[in-house]
Structure 1
Amino acid sequence: MNKGYVAMLLHSHMPYVRHPEKEDSLEERWLFEGISECYLPMIQGYEKLVEENIDFMITMSITPTLMSMLLDPYLNKRYKNYLKLSIELSEKEIIRTRDDKELNKVAYFYHERLKSLYFTYKSYDYNIMNAFKRFDNLGVLEIITSSATHGLLPLLDVNIETVKAQLYQGFNHYSKSLGHDPKGIWLPECAYNYSLDNILKELGLKYFIMEGKGVTMATPKPIYGTNAPIRTEGGVYAFGRDEESSKQVWSSFIGYPGDWDYREFYRDIGYELPLDYIEPYIDKSGIRIDTGIKYYRITNKSDHKEYYNRERAMEKVKNHSMHFLNSRRCQIEEISKNMNKPPIILCPYDTELFGHWWFEGPDFIYNFIKDSYRENVNYKLVTPSYYLENYTEAEVCKPNPSTWGENGDYSVWINPSNDWMYRHLHFAARKMINLANTYSDPTELEERALNQAARELMLAESSDWPFIIKNNTTAEYASERVNTHINRFNELYNAITKENIDESYLEDIEKMDNIFPDIDFRIYRSNK
């Protein structure tokens, strides 16, 4: 008997990392790794579920920056070459490891896996957005949108026009790319404040996703906590992240990905094999980087690692997916006793967790969905919009401003390490608004420059840059990106206002930062 619902939601996002000016870009490999380790394996799982006639529904956000890169012919060409090189390396590894039977078996596994990824990629005409569109059309995948470049909106609302521009551009890009409007939105970093309500309503969006405490600490306090959506005064629904299901996957102590039979992320042949052998498959400057071929399992907490055993890992996947299923079943059983309508358990995760950090993650998703269909469960897998179509009644509350970052506030994205960037972002935003309000009838060249200025501002506003700087990973690159886009914006602003636009310079940056070909600078107008 169906007593409730479970909604799996995968947030798919990467910053805009497109560098045609470089022969080899380390940052573009972030995208290529995401395609090989997360998106293509997830697509293969969806294909199997459809072939097996499994009645399923799952939700994915695909942010406008990621969608733009997945649609980009230049990046697809580079990824195709990356995948071919990976297959070539896997062939060499079969030869190199032939005297070690156990290791050679893992080498063969990678070779067959990479070939299957290439076959899937080719089957969608070397563009995986074709795959996501297919599942969207079949009704098994609900794709939701996000803001244009994943800017942390509450920290940009000093100039509300720039928040509107981020949201309108994200909405428009989704609609043009998929052929229909989105029903829901993933607010970047689940960051919410009250200024967003009216804009979301204007766009006709039905729901957004929040960190759990954004719902549980709403005013008035909702009766059902995160087990049912609440409705804002503007009429948009907010779904809160379920804490229990989140810990089972995310927790570094009890989370499934830490099982000792799963693949060890931190051992890769790109760092371990002789340079003259591995050189064609790492950065052209000689920097050692991940190749994706990792031969060890987690094993234990020490430095001693044993070879990866795919069969043992798949047994653990089955165990963990069944444990996750039974946990949701028990959760639904208990919660439903105290509710006058069926509960919904929202399970949102970063897509990149599944496959990149947790190599077996896409297999876990596939098994959980399949088992939820075949086992005697008391819930149905649905999307948030499916739930709203059947249960429109909800408590009207004011959600609590929050994020899903550390501390649940905005401190990851504004702190002493990265607060310097906001004065530049706010100042540039005011200038962009002034341009939009001033130029009512621009020439063709002025319009190109105005549109490019809007792109540069949006790219500078990405929440990825302060996040990277805070975590001190590739902080120099993130700082450079902010400064580069702000400098380009200022150069364009000066050229436009002084009527001295250098068309060759404009053409150069249009080719480099070519996100959102249909952008219209007028979305920054104050009367929008």
Structure 2
Amino acid sequence: MIPGAFCLVLHSHLPWLAHHGRWPVGEEWLYQSWAHAYLPVVDVLERLAADGQRDVLTLGVTPVLAAQLDDPHCLRGMHHWLGDWQLRAHGVAPRLPELAVHEHRAAARALELFETRWRHGASPVLRPLVDGGVIELLGGPATHPFGPLLLPEVRAFALAAGLADTSRRLGSRPAGIWAPECGYAPGMETGYAAAGVQRFLVDGPSLHGDTALARPVGGSDVLAFGRDLDVTYRVWSPRSGYPGGRDYRDFHTYDHESGLKPARVTGRHVEPHDKRPYDPERAAAAVARDAAEFVDVVRDRLTELHARHGRPPLVVAAFDTELYGHWWHEGPAWLEAVLRALPEAGVQVTTLRGAADAGFVGEPVELPASSWGSGKDWRVWAGEQVTDLVEAGDRVQKTLVQTVSDTLVADGLANRLAEEALLALSSDWAFMVSKDSAAGYARDRAYGHAGRVGELAELLQAGRRDAAHRLVADWAPAPFGHVDARALARP
């Protein structure tokens, strides 16, 4: 056996997209990720479970995504989307017969998985994997807000709401979280401890690259696990990684009549019209080659760290789940190959919980303000490009706390106010603006939710509860429906 252990962490997250349209944004993002990442990744986990594997990986599912994967509206929409995918595959057959065959089979498999396993939502699919010890599930704040920018009482409220939602869906309260955007400000561990959170993820630079062990933060018992960027970036980084290999499907090249992707990467600087047709056999060979190389990377890294530290180390590689299948078509196949090959190569595979229980813990550390975004600081969520969103978020928080404290009602209006506020505070809006990815849509969503908070708060503060009920009746459903705003009321 190689001394030490390897932990793979996947983070599944999309903002609240239900009831917010299809192409080019909104629910289309949800259905694409659901079809191409969540269905096949869970299928991989169920096959590994059937073969007796346990502690396979740590999976973060943000509460707002879990709500969508259980939502009847989204379930109906997903079924329709999968059927449309198969029809698009049939439609392209006269022009691109090989692509049509590949897409038909993929769509048929996705429909089979969805109709036999997912028609009642994600919770009945995930719970056996959690209860059986196949995966460790991470929770998080309700709508994925960037924690360092929240008022302490709002931060605590968002985290409590998110953990409670996960408990309702899966029957157990997570002891670990993937902090949204790995965002951290000194002192946040105190709130984590108060909420019963025992471990959370940070990016490697927060620990100055010393990620070989989990570290208690400050004077608390809460453990910070750091991403090993040398290993993580071997798979995917801002500039390189396996998905960019010439034989993998190209994510950015479309057949515009069908929306399907007919090309392989071919080369980094090859124009879309010059890319070669996708070849599943070439892609399968690339999966085998890159999975074998990654196993060697992990073995070498563990050996190196063991020699440096004089004790068995931990390697944590962490990614967005959407990389596996959505952005990287072959990702689920690669994932399964790696998770089967690592134990065969003498590498212990475990979860964050398993690593903590096994004693992969070092000395306490003081963490700096940090994130996993550009610069590893807060610029993506608090930089000059999004100053207006930060200011709007501050107003939303202050309005929420003041209104709930002064006009708390027991008929659900305050609860709906709190849900709209949490939606306005989602980190996704600032990310999309900073990265210029559907920035207009993101600003519309952020200001739309903030506007609802202001309008509803004004009615509540004026005592116009009938008008407030009429206002809320015209809004699209909220993601949770069981948020309890009384937790925000001042004593």
Shorter-normalised TM-score: what interval?
A: over 0.9
Secondary structure of residue in 1 paired with 2:201: strand
* 1:319-468 → structure 2 map (5 Å cutoff): 319-373=289-343, 375-377=344-346, 379-391=347-359, 393-439=361-407, 442-444=409-411, 448-468=412-432
Q: 1:504 maps to what in 2? A: 470
Secondary structure of residue in 1 paired with 2:264: coil
Following the alignment from structure 1 to structure 2, what is the Cα–Cα distance between the partners of residues 247 and 357? 15
Deviation, structure 1 residue 439 = 3.9
Q: 1:283 maps to what in 2? A: none
Deviation, structure 1 residue 523 = 2.2
Q: More displaced, 316-325 or 299-308?
A: 299-308
Q: 2:287 maps to what in 1? A: 317
Q: 1:288 maps to what in 2? A: none
Secondary structure of residue in 2 paired with 1:197: helix
Following the alignment from structure 2 to structure 1, what is the Cα–Cα distance between the partners of residues 123 and 226? 28
TM-score with structure 2 length normalisation? Answer: 0.95
Name segments (4+ residues, structure 1) moved above 4 Å: 22-25
Q: 1:185 maps to what in 2? A: 177
Q: More displaced, 243-252 or 184-193?
A: 243-252
Deviation, structure 1 residue 163 = 1.1
Q: 2:14 maps to what in 1? A: 14
Q: Does the C-alpha gap of structure 1 residues 105 and 426 become closer, same or farther in structure 2, counting only changes over 3 Å?
A: same
1:340-365 Cα offsets, whole Å, 9 max, x none, are: 53211000011111112111111111
Deviation, structure 1 residue 317 = 0.5
Matched AA of 1:76: L
Secondary structure of residue in 2 paired with 1:317: helix
Deviation, structure 1 residue 526 = 4.2
Following the alignment from structure 1 to structure 2, what is the Cα–Cα distance between the partners of residues 393 and 51? 31
Following the alignment from structure 1 to structure 2, what is the Cα–Cα distance between the partners of residues 73 and 6? 37
Q: Percent identity?
A: 26
Deviation, structure 1 residue 38 = 0.6
Q: 1:297 maps to what in 2? A: 264
Q: 2:437 maps to what in 1? A: 473
Q: More displaced, 326-335 or 387-396?
A: 387-396
1:230-270 Cα offsets, whole Å, 9 max, x none, are: 1011210000110111221123554111110000112222x
Contact 1:161 1:526 in 2 (8 A): no
Following the alignment from structure 2 to structure 1, what is the Cα–Cα distance between the partners of residues 201 and 361? 18
Deviation, structure 1 residue 45 = 1.4
Q: Does the C-alpha gap of structure 1 residues 483 and 367 become closer, same or farther in structure 2, counting only changes over 3 Å?
A: same
**Equivalent in 267, 273, 281 of residue 253 of structure 2:** 267
Q: 1:143 maps to what in 2? A: 137
Following the alignment from structure 1 to structure 2, what is the Cα–Cα distance between the partners of residues 213 and 125? 38
Secondary structure of residue in 2 paired with 1:15: coil
Following the alignment from structure 1 to structure 2, what is the Cα–Cα distance between the partners of residues 385 and 11? 16
Deviation, structure 1 residue 54 = 4.0
Matched AA of 1:194: P
Secondary structure of residue in 1 paired with 2:92: helix
Following the alignment from structure 1 to structure 2, what is the Cα–Cα distance between the partners of residues 247 and 23? 32
Secondary structure of residue in 2 paired with 1:263: coil
Q: 2:31 maps to what in 1? A: 32
Q: 1:226 maps to what in 2? A: 211
Q: Does the C-alpha gap of structure 1 residues 473 and 140 become closer, same or farther in structure 2, counting only changes over 3 Å?
A: same
Matched AA of 1:182: P
**Equivalent in 117, 135, 147 of residue 110 of structure 2:** 117
Q: Alpha carbon RMSD of aligned pairs, Å?
A: 1.8
Deviation, structure 1 residue 23 = 8.1
* 1:43-54 → structure 2 map (5 Å cutoff): 43-54=42-53
Deviation, structure 1 residue 435 = 2.5
Q: 1:88 maps to what in 2? A: 87
Matched AA of 2:474: D
Structure 1 unpaired stretches of 5+: 98-102, 218-224, 279-290
Deviation, structure 1 residue 44 = 1.8
Following the alignment from structure 1 to structure 2, what is the Cα–Cα distance between the partners of residues 93 and 128? 31
Q: More displaced, 124-133 or 186-195?
A: 124-133
Following the alignment from structure 2 to structure 1, what is the Cα–Cα distance between the partners of residues 441 and 304? 48
Deviation, structure 1 residue 192 = 0.5
Following the alignment from structure 2 to structure 1, what is the Cα–Cα distance between the partners of residues 29 and 299? 36
**Equivalent in 232, 240, 248 of residue 246 of structure 1:** 232
Q: 1:100 maps to what in 2? A: none
Deviation, structure 1 residue 425 = 1.6
Following the alignment from structure 2 to structure 1, what is the Cα–Cα distance between the partners of residues 86 and 25? 19
Q: 1:63 maps to what in 2? A: 62
Following the alignment from structure 1 to structure 2, what is the Cα–Cα distance between the partners of residues 427 and 407? 27
Following the alignment from structure 1 to structure 2, what is the Cα–Cα distance between the partners of residues 403 and 415? 13
Following the alignment from structure 2 to structure 1, what is the Cα–Cα distance between the partners of residues 192 and 413? 29
Matched AA of 2:342: S
Q: Does the C-alpha gap of structure 1 residues 475 and 24 become closer, same or farther in structure 2, counting only changes over 3 Å?
A: closer
Contact 2:89 2:103 in 1 (8 A): yes
Deviation, structure 1 residue 337 = 2.3
Q: Does the C-alpha gap of structure 1 residues 297 and 407 become closer, same or farther in structure 2, counting only changes over 3 Å?
A: same
Secondary structure of residue in 2 paired with 1:226: coil
Secondary structure of residue in 2 paired with 1:419: helix
Following the alignment from structure 2 to structure 1, what is the Cα–Cα distance between the partners of residues 52 and 66? 28
1:150-184 Cα offsets, whole Å, 9 max, x none, are: 1111122xx21111111111111111111111020
Following the alignment from structure 2 to structure 1, what is the Cα–Cα distance between the partners of residues 375 and 24? 34
Matched AA of 1:18: A
Following the alignment from structure 1 to structure 2, what is the Cα–Cα distance between the partners of residues 407 and 151? 19
Q: More displaced, 307-316 or 513-522?
A: 513-522
Matched AA of 1:131: V
Following the alignment from structure 1 to structure 2, what is the Cα–Cα distance between the partners of residues 152 and 243? 22
Matched AA of 1:13: H
1:287-328 Cα offsets, whole Å, 9 max, x none, are: xxxx3x211111122221111110110111011011000111
Following the alignment from structure 1 to structure 2, what is the Cα–Cα distance between the partners of residues 192 and 125? 35
